[in-house]
């Protein structure tokens, strides 16, 4: 299944941490169970709070499903979703394996 990187950035002013309800909602959203319900597999999530930068990695059958999973973050800033591969997948492709 394809891998997708979801990157979100927001400003200090629009930071979800200023709104406890938003924090609760995003915490409930970024769970393996919710991801599965939305048709994606959550592989990793990472937040650099001082830089207001969020990174999520999912496996998804489609770009649209990955974008849908990242959509709630758009209410506070930018969301970029890109498809990629693992290092092993690239190596296998390059070596014809």
pLDDT of 77-86, one tens digit each?
999 999 999 9
pLDDT digits 0-9 by tens, 45-74? 999 999 999 999 999 999 999 999 999 999
Structure confidence at residue 34 (pLDDT): 98
Q: Which of 9, 1, 97, 5 is nearest to 54 (CA)?
A: 9
Distance CA 25, CA 17 (A): 11
pTM attached to this predicted model: 0.92
Domains assigned to the chain: 3-94 (3.30.70.3090)
Q: How confident is the model at residue 1 (pLDDT cuts 50, 70, 90)?
A: confident
* pLDDT tens digits, one per residue of 16-30: 999 999 999 999 999
């Amino acid at each position: 299944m394809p891998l997708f990187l979801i990157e979100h950035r927001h400003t200090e002013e629009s930071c979800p941490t200023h709104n406890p309800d938003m924090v609760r909602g995003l915490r409930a959203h970024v769970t393996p169970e919710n991801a599965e319900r939305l048709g994606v597999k959550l592989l990793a999530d990472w937040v650099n709070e001082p830089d207001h930068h969020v990174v999520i990695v999912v496996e998804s059958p489609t770009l649209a499903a990955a974008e849908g999973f990242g959509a709630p973050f758009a209410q506070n800033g930018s969301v970029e979703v890109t498809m990629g591969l693992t290092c092993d997948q690239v190596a296998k492709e390059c070596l014809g394996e």
